[in-house]
Amino acid sequence: QVQVVESGGGLVQAGGSLRLSCAASGSTFSSNAIDWYRQAPGKQRELVATTSSGGSTNYADSVKGRFTISRGNAKNTVYLQMSSLKPEDTAVYYCKYSDYRYLSWGQGTQVTVSS
């Protein structure tokens, strides 16, 4: 099994920045993808950004140019640097780990952007 833990959420004013962290541990595999999703109240969970162990990244149009996903030096640690935050970025942010065997979600971390 793979365990996923997110951290770094909080309350920030519009225009501010936050960095979220995601750590996957346990029976991880070298070839994997780690993605960030978010879910706002009353809305469906949506994909925010993805990164593969091969280095590729992709972003939702709504966050392009403002958010950056990156892999840390620690194995299977991924960061989401969020800048120029908007009230509409308010959501619970979830990290998802996947490889050819497992798909695991974290518990989520709340991000609240005040106007």
* Span 25-66, pLDDT tens digits: 999 998 999 999 999 999 999 999 999 999 899 999 999 999
- Residue 20: the pLDDT is 98
Angle at 31 between CA 9 and CA 27, to 5 degrees: 70
Please name the residue that has the structure tokens 């392009």: 64
- Tell me, what's the pLDDT at 59? 98
Looking at every residue in the chain, the average pLDDT score rounds to: 96
* CA nearest neighbour of 32 among 75, 65, 67: 75
For the cut 90, the answer to whether the pLDDT of residue 74 exceeds it is no
Give the whole-angstrom CA distance, residue 55 versus residue 3.
21
In this prediction, what percent of the chain has a pLDDT beyond 70?
100
pLDDT at 73: 83
Alpha-carbon distances of 93 from 16, 42, 82, 101, rounded to whole Å: 17, 14, 12, 23
Helices (H), 54-114: none
Dihedral in degrees, nearest 10, Cα atoms 108, 87, 82, 12: -80
